[in-house]
């Protein structure tokens, strides 16, 4: 049986669908994605207590995800487009634009909180 903490860090099918729709089926860099090609990334990493809720998840290409985790620059259409730090800022800014009250510390697992209690709401 999984702990609440483990479950909270997982990304549900529903969350994946919400993220793809929020991003208009494009990665953060603008590359077209499908449900099969999208890789879902925790902006605040699971290892840092990052939750699997939509306000902490972005959809990336496999290559963007791999290069980001390897600390490398991000390439778009074969050309270097973002440094690793610029890409990290781009992901965070995307979430700030889409969620009221977004902050990194609010994306971390909280033992006695439910999703609705994290103080982050979707902008309309």
In a domain, 14, yes or no: yes
In terms of residues, how long is the chain? 124
pLDDT at 114: 64
The predicted-structure confidence for 3-52, as pLDDT tens digits, reads as follows 877 888 899 999 999 999 999 999 999 999 999 999 999 999 999 999 99
Q: Give, for 99, the enclosing helix (H) or strand (E).
A: strand 99-100
In a domain, 75, yes or no: no
In a domain, 29, yes or no: yes
DSSP string, 32-92: B--TTT-EEEESS-GGGTB--SGGGEEEE-HHHHHHHHTTPPEEETTEEEE-HHHHHHHHH
C-alpha–C-alpha distance, residues 89 and 121, integer Å: 20
In a domain, 88, yes or no: no
21 contacts: CB under 8 Å, gap ≥ 6: none
In a domain, 80, yes or no: no
Best CA proximity match to 92, nearest among 76, 79, 81, 105? 105
In a domain, 69, yes or no: no
pLDDT band at 115; cut points 50, 70, 90: low
Are the C-beta atoms of residues 11 and 57 closer than 8 Å to each other? Answer: yes
pLDDT at 116 over 90: no
In a domain, 123, yes or no: no
C-alpha–C-alpha distance, residues 40 and 123, integer Å: 21
What is the residue-averaged pLDDT of the chain? Answer: 93
pLDDT at 2 over 70: yes
The pLDDT > 90 percentage for the chain reads: 78
Residue 31, domain extent? 4-61+93-114
C-alpha–C-alpha distance, residues 106 and 109, integer Å: 8
Number of domains in the chain: 1
In a domain, 70, yes or no: no
């Amino acid at each position: 049986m999984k702990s609440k903490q483990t479950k909270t860090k997982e990304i549900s099918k529903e969350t994946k669908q919400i993220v793809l729709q929020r991003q208009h089926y494009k990665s953060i860099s603008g590359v077209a994605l499908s449900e099969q090609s999208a890789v879902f990334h925790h902006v605040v990493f699971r290892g840092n207590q990052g939750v699997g809720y939509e306000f902490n998840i972005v959809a990336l290409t496999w290559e963007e995800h791999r290069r980001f985790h390897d600390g490398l620059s991000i390439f778009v259409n074969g050309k270097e487009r973002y440094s690793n730090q610029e890409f990290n800022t781009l992901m965070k800014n995307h979430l700030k634009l889409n969620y009221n009250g977004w902050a990194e510390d609010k994306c971390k697992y909280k033992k006695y909180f439910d999703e609705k209690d994290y103080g982050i709401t979707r902008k309309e």
